């Protein structure tokens, strides 16, 4: 009888006006015929962009079909009760060769008020960053809506935004409502709710090849923005070798970092959820009862909820993001 096993997927590549080439230069992913790859959707069941299995007897089936057929055995009974046949997470690589637009995402309440199933909370793990790369997260002081609108009108918005220098390994939690943007030279792994609701605030007066500017969403963004100032926007953690270190535990996902160079056994019997292993450096084999799957940089495997244990065999120093629904 055929049973569930760790599933691999074909990435979905996205050409973006600000996109780069790091998924090819760092991970060898071929996004031809696109001119660049701003985003590689490594695991998705959003809209028509549904990941397709690339390994084993389920190859050719898409993620939504698998959730419909295997239900709690694939995603976990609790997750299935909460999310039904909608896979709850969207996982990407995002490569910025230029500034992304300054933007914000709505929370669940606002999204549902506007007829969407849910909002968009996300987190970023910096996979690679050029020297002096920066991103924007939140405001640099307390401001009012009136001051924000004045800065937007005068094109001085950057004067009230919080800029952060970044390097590989940095983590930023991005709850719904937080104004943010990635700067050039940064490759991130993004874990988020299954949503693509984005309200563009400012796009640096950029035009496309046809001389057209991209749409801004000033009124919707104003409703979504959290104007509060926070003491820190960076998620601090203590790196450790050959250990699993928690990075972010939010309502929608828990993400940990496994940085290892010797074999490790992972017991998932106490987690009523699927587990996604996202390789952000190095490579490893994922061994399970019945076989083994190779996991290379830039790839994910989905460990079904019904599978209680896997063994990770690194091919040298390796870093995985371990993601599940708490």
- The domain locations on the chain are 7-224, 243-324
Tell me what pLDDT residue 213 has.
83
pLDDT tens, position by position, 93-151: 999 999 999 999 999 999 999 999 999 999 999 999 999 999 999 999 999 999 999 99
Q: Can you tell me the distance from the alpha carbon of 80 to that of 166, in angstroms, rounded to the nearest whole number?
A: 36
Judge: domain 7-224, CATH 2.60.120.10: yes
Other CB atoms closer than 10 Å to residue 315's CB: what's the count? 13
Which superfamily does 243-324 belong to?
Jelly Rolls (2.60.120.10)
Give the per-residue pLDDT at 2: 64
Contacts of 8 (CB under 8 A, 6+ apart): 53, 54, 55, 293, 295, 299, 300, 301, 302
Active-site entry in 21, 200, 214, 228: 200
**Strand partners of residue 50:** 45
Spatial distance between the Cα atoms of 286 and 155, rounded to a whole number of angstroms: 50
Per-residue model confidence (pLDDT) at position 148: 97
Task: Tell me the chain's radius of gyration from C-alpha atoms.
Answer: 20
What is the side-by-side order of every strand in the sheet holding 122-129?
12-14, 39-43, 89-96, 186-193, 122-129, 171-174
Provide the phi-psi class of 266: left if phi over 0, else alpha when psi is between -120 and 50, else beta. beta
Question: Is 113 labeled as catalytic in the residue annotation?
Answer: no
Give the CA distances from residue 213 to residues 16, 34, 196, 216, 316, in Å, rounded to whole numbers and listed in that order: 14, 21, 20, 9, 46
Spans of the chain below 70 pLDDT: 1-2
d(CA 123, CA 121): 7
Are 159 and 185 in contact, with CB atoms under 8 Å apart? no
Q: Tell me, what's the pLDDT at 1? A: 44
Going by C-alpha positions, the residue among 46, 68, 37, 51 that lies closest to residue 7 is: 51
């Amino acid at each position: 009888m055929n049973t569930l096993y760790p599933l691999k997927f074909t990435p979905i590549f996205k050409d973006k006006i600000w996109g780069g080439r790091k998924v090819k230069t760092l991970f060898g992913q071929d996004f031809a015929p696109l001119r660049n790859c701003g985003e590689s959707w490594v695991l998705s069941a959003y809209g028509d962009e549904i990941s397709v299995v690339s390994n084993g007897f389920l190859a050719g089936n898409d993620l939504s079909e698998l959730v419909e057929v295997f239900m709690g055995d694939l995603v976990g009974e609790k997750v299935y009760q909460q999310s039904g046949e909608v896979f709850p997470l969207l996982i990407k690589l995002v490569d910025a060769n230029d500034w992304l637009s300054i933007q914000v995402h709505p929370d669940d309440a606002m999204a549902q008020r506007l007829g969407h199933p849910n909002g968009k909370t996300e987190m970023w793990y910096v996979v690679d960053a050029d020297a002096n790369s920066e991103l924007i997260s939140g405001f640099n002081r307390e401001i009012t809506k009136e001051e924000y609108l004045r800065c937007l009108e005068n094109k001085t918005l950057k004067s009230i935004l919080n800029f952060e220098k970044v390097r590989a390994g940095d983590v930023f939690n991005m709850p719904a409502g937080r104004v943010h943007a990635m700067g050039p030279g940064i490759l991130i792994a993004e874990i988020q709710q299954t949503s693509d609701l984005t309200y563009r605030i400012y796009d640096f007066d950029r035009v496309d090849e046809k001389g057209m500017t991209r749409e801004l969403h000033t009124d919707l963004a104003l409703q979504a923005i959290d104007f509060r100032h926070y003491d820190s926007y960076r998620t601090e953690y203590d790196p450790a070798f050959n250990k699993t270190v928690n990075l972010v535990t939010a309502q929608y996902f828990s993400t940990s970092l496994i940085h290892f160079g010797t074999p490790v056994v992972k017991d998932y019997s106490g987690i009523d959820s699927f587990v996604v292993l996202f390789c952000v450096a190095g490579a490893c084999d994922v061994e399970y009862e019945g076989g083994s799957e190779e996991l290379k940089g830039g790839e994910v495997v989905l460990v079904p909820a019904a599978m209680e244990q896997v063994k990770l065999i690194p091919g040298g120093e390796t870093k995985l993001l371990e993601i599940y629904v708490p």
